Amino acid sequence: MVNPEKLRVATLKYLRVRNGEQLGLNAGNWAVRLATEQGLGYVGPEEVEAEMKCLCAEGIVQLSKWDDRLGGLYQYHSTDDAIIERQFFGFGCFDVRITDGGRWYLNVPTRSIGFQPQE
């Protein structure tokens, strides 16, 4: 299990490099990319899903996908019930886009936060 704060920072760093959006990944793909590209070690898809839900609930990201069972282009809301959540995250890929309100979160430091030796 990865530290939630590290997962959040890694997710925002990942989005920063991609100009605030990542299209067409599922939670498993996200987990692999964050683990390898951001050096987090093992990240479970359920951890990624939980973090995406938190980021969405806080208005930092927008989650959407095309799903005929959800009526076409569907935007996930943190108030969706468990059946819709299962449909949204459990089948296929979804898109993640930073919101206008979340743009300032893209300014994530690239190195450790805290006291640093003078350069």
pLDDT tens for the chain, 119 residues long, are 888 889 998 999 899 889 899 999 999 999 999 999 888 889 999 999 999 999 999 999 999 999 998 899 999 999 999 999 999 998 889 999 999 888 887 776 656 655 555 55
Assigned domain for 117 exists? no
pTM, two decimals, is: 0.83
Burial class (CB in 10 A: 0-12, 13-18, 19+), 50: middle
Assigned domain for 83 exists? yes
Assigned domain for 108 exists? no
The count of domains in the chain is: 1
Assigned domain for 119 exists? no
Q: What domain range is 25 assigned to?
A: 4-103
Assigned domain for 25 exists? yes
